[in-house]
Amino acid sequence: MVKTKGLEGVVATTSSVSSIVDDVLTYRGYSIDDLAEYTDFEEVIYLLWYGKLPSLKQLAAFRNELNENVSLPSELIAQLKSFPIKNIHPMAVLRTCVSALALYDKEADDTDDQANLRKAIRLQAKIPAIIAAYARICEGKEPIIPEVPLSFSANFLYMLKGSIPDQTSEAAFNKALVLHADHELNASTFTSRVCVATLSDMYSGITAAIGALKGPLHGGANERVMKMLSEIDGIDFVEPYLQRAFANKEKIMGFGHRVYKNGDPRAKHLREMSRLLTKVTGEGKWYNMSIKIEEIIRREKGLLPNVDFYSASVYHCLGIKHNLFTPIFAISRTSGWIAHILEQYENNRLIRPRAEYIGLKHQAYVPLAER
């Protein structure tokens, strides 16, 4: 048996959803650079699920379907209001609510192809509604369901803040969603595929993926990046902060990647968006600190920023609370999770790897009375 820690270097399956070859990320063969520059997130969702970019007519119909499925069951709203506000992470709330959504979906256990696509629409539409609703409830406000059709990006920001976002904010959030949509066989995507490979339902697969994304070594990294920036709080304090971290052998979040050797291709898009947003909002210190941190980490450790590093300052400048960074990652990555779940169902085989046993051997059983 071939064994490797963390399955590094192991090719576990074939997929046509996305690829990382020579540090180039593509969705269905389209460069992430082109998609980030030219597409709306709804187009990317359609591309990931259906394998092709939509026509104008197809995109309009797809947007309508998403908008029509935003509303949450009243019972789920009541459940959200019953949750404790203190000492609870929104990812735990999202994990619980996505699981609960299945209880209100009569097609939850229907694995027919068309039923799965209908559930995909419902999940993709309702996950941002859950996050925005809980965020508002925590502020003592009522959840909002948009009355006027908006883009997917604008819809979330409106549900979160109660006002239609400006074009710069909408474009920035849209680009972030596009960049985070899929990333080959990452931890949460693999988790979703392992789950549905048992022929469990889509809600279970997404719930499992959210559980994997919750960890700070995966989706939680951008939240930790913003925590670091807040602790530094000034460009003059960057060098001493990092030198202390190096001396204490602390991990600096937002740098390095298991797959990319010459840098994450998504980082440059978020770096530029961070520059623009921090300038517009008058919060240039976050960008300036980030640039300084990048220079020092590159010099001292030879590491380059990944997608999480600059997404932190982007979300901060959009006025998004820091504990929502990882749930927002889930909004985007749901599109990729669903694409992989659909692909797993299409050509399924139970995922069951082996483990090399390294424990004690030839143990003699001792009766309880004699121990």
Nearest to 32 by CA among 40, 24, 23, 21: 24
Question: Which helix or strand (DSSP H or E) is residue 18 part of?
Answer: strand 18-21
Helix runs in the chain, H state only: 32-38, 41-50, 56-68, 74-82, 90-101, 113-138, 152-161, 167-180, 187-196, 202-213, 221-232, 238-247, 267-281, 284-301, 307-317, 325-346
3-class secondary-structure state, position 30: strand
At 167, which amino acid appears? Q
- Output phi, psi for 20, to 5 deg: -130, 105
Looking up tokens 């979703």 gives 192
- Which residues have a catalytic role annotated? 257, 308
- Which 3 state secondary structure label does DSSP give 21? strand
CB 283 within 8 A of CB 323: no
